[in-house]
Amino acid sequence: MSVTTKATIASFGGKLLKLSHAATSTKCEMSFNLYLPPQVFQNPSQKIPVLIYLSGLTCTADNCSEKGFFQHGASKKGIAVLYPDTSPRGLDIPGEADAWDFGTGAGFYVDATNPPYNNGYNMYSYVMEELPQTVFAAFPQLDSSRVSITGHSMGGHGALTLFLRNPGKYKSVSAFAPISNPVNCPWGQKAFTGYFGADQTEKWKEHDATELVKKWNGRLDVLIDVGTGDNFYKQGQLLPENFEKAAKEAGVEGVTVRYQPDYDHSYFTMATFSDDHVEHAAKFLFA
């Protein structure tokens, strides 16, 4: 459970820590970043809630730490931001680094059941259990009872599915350009074929936000931003309409999908709207 500090960077009055630990669920050393807002240092007796940000395909913990602007909002609200990596690294599974949308940098926040990926590609358990446990043990000032989750693209899929599969575990959920219906898009079909097997379509549905929302009980206060200039949205990789429609048909209220004119799939979009997503999380973390 011990954590190695690789860098400590001053950011918006707080500290961005670049950390790593030996993870058992993913069978490798995992890097991650943790932003501690100024309130951590101003009042050491104050418990600080946590927002988990799950990154998209090809990313590490660094991209959003540098370009997403979450520290701006989090520093004002007094929220720590936890940035996990997107896959195990260096497992040396044959072919894992051959594509940018599968394997390395593309763990899809599932526990693989299909060989050889079942030997370490457990990003679901890693992000839901092992990483938070490690972080809360190493940083006791963080409040394990107040955690929210958000993410981008593949990480938006991760945020939605982790939230929907674990009612009550997270205080709130939001997403940027989430892969909202992976069983019906090329990225999701490729990933789920690789991680679960082509014939395991019932298993696929267990990690599909559109399928999961059909079974959700009660209100779902989710904020989703999708740019209308997002090429992956236009190509049908994201399918937020399917999620919206399923929620509506299931009578699930509170779903807000904002189609932001001209915004693309890049971090410029996160930077623009991250304050709104921090605000959304804060509403529930400080309720």
Residues marked active site are found at: 153, 230, 265
Tell whether residue 269 is a contact of its own copies (CB under 8 A).
yes
Residue closer to its own copies, measured from CB, 155 or 227: 227
Q: CB of residue 232 vs its own copies: minimum separation in angstroms?
A: 15
Tell whether residue 61 is a contact of its own copies (CB under 8 A).
no
Residue closer to its own copies, measured from CB, 11 or 237: 11
Q: CB of residue 62 vs its own copies: minimum separation in angstroms?
A: 11
Tokens of 15: 């500290």
Q: CB of residue 171 vs its own copies: minimum separation in angstroms?
A: 26
Tell whether residue 58 is a contact of its own copies (CB under 8 A).
no
What's the residue count for the chain? 287
Measured at the CA of 85, the angle between CA 124 and CA 96, to 5 degrees, comes to 80
Tokens of 113: 């059941």
Tell whether residue 39 is a contact of its own copies (CB under 8 A).
no
**Which span sits near its own copies by CB under 8 A: 83-91, 138-146, 171-179, 264-272?**
264-272
Tell whether residue 266 is a contact of its own copies (CB under 8 A).
yes
The strand pairing partners of 15, in sequence order, are 10, 36
Residue closer to its own copies, measured from CB, 88 or 227: 227
> Which letter does DSSP use for residue 31 in this model?
E
Q: Three-class SS of residue 66?
A: helix
**For residues 25 and 122, is the Cβ–Cβ distance under 8 A?**
yes
Q: Residue 86's closest CA among 65, 103, 68?
A: 103
What backbone phi and psi angles, to 5 degrees, belong to 136?
-70, -30
d(CA 96, CA 89): 10
Residue closer to its own copies, measured from CB, 101 or 264: 264
Q: Which residues bind its own copies (CB under 8 A)?
A: 9-13, 15-16, 66-67, 69, 71-72, 227, 229, 260-264, 266-269, 271-272
